[in-house]
Structure 1
Amino acid sequence: MLTDIHPKLPMRDKSVTREYYSTRLGFKVFGNADYDGYLMMEKDQIQIHFFEFKALEPKENYGQVYIRTNNIDEFYNSLLAKETAIHPNGKLETKPWGQKEFSLLDPDSNLLTFGQNI
């Protein structure tokens, strides 16, 4: 029986990824161990894992994660207050498929889309 999913995304620089997810998105490092070339971040009920890929070309990265939330307006406004860049084509809006969504790109161009059922 399936119980959880923890997506793994590429990162070029562990310290840059950790700083972005911590300060911009409010995630915390998960666990006590500091693994070489691997990072686990957690916020509320989700985890995202990252593996080191130093040769990653951000313009060629197609890593994507869809994250559901139950208070998208509050989360979106908290990101704006921190001056977190929102994807130019991903501003907060209601989609025809009944989701309110927005998107952003992390420092390695992984696309994070946040959505709430309306």
Structure 2
Amino acid sequence: MNKPPVLGNITPIIPAGGDIEKSITFYKEQLGFTTLYKEGNPVRMAIIQRDSAQIILQKNDDRHLAQQTTFRIQVDGIEQLYAEFQAKGGQMIHPNGHLETKPWSMKEFVILDVAGVCITFYEPVNI
């Protein structure tokens, strides 16, 4: 019974702007997430998920806070995900965040959500 603790997935709580329904729609239509749960009327919190990636959206219209919020999601098949987002118009991709291999052996790209939150999708490069 002396099993060491193991950390699992991380679920960030991020600012979703003043119109959380707009954020939910963005994550659904542009990024392929589904809504697991909504709270409040009007909605002030929602849990969304795609595969193992889960995010909690919280109503918060502090644009400065949103623009200072950033996190990373590991991907298997990053080129296919990038192509999927490009096929949806690619407007969510940060102008300086197109798909590229970084010196730290990660292939990655960056998107901005409707509130200004920065999300990096990455995949380790096999060396």
Alignment TM-score, normalising by the size of structure 1? 0.91
> Any gaps of 5 or more consecutive residues in structure 1?
none
What corresponds to 2:12 in structure 1? Answer: 7
Query: How many residue pairs are counted as aligned between the two chains?
Result: 115
8 Å contact from structure 2 (residues 14, 66) kept in 1: no
- Is 1:35 the equivalent of 2:39? yes
Q: Give 1:9's aligned amino acid.
A: I
Report the 3-state secondary structure (helix = DSSP H, G, I; strand = E; otherwise coil) of the residue aligned with 1:78. Answer: helix
Amino acid at match of 2:68: Y
Corresponding residue of 2:123 = 116
Residue 78 of structure 1, CA deviation:
0.4
Cα distance change of structure 1 residues 59 and 9 upon mapping to structure 2, 3 Å threshold: closer
Distance in 1 of aligned mates of 2:105 and 2:88: 28
CA contact (8 A) 1:29 1:41 kept: yes
Structure 2 length-normalised TM: 0.85
Distance 2:66 2:74 in 1: 25
Q: Does the CA-based 8 Å contact 1:14-1:38 persist in structure 2?
A: yes
Unaligned runs of 5+ in 2: none
Opposite residue 44 of structure 1, the aligned amino acid is D
Are the counterparts in 2 of residues 40 and 49 from structure 1 also a CA contact under 8 Å? Answer: yes
Runs of 4+ in structure 1 off by over 3 angstroms are none
Pick the structure with greater CA Rg: 2
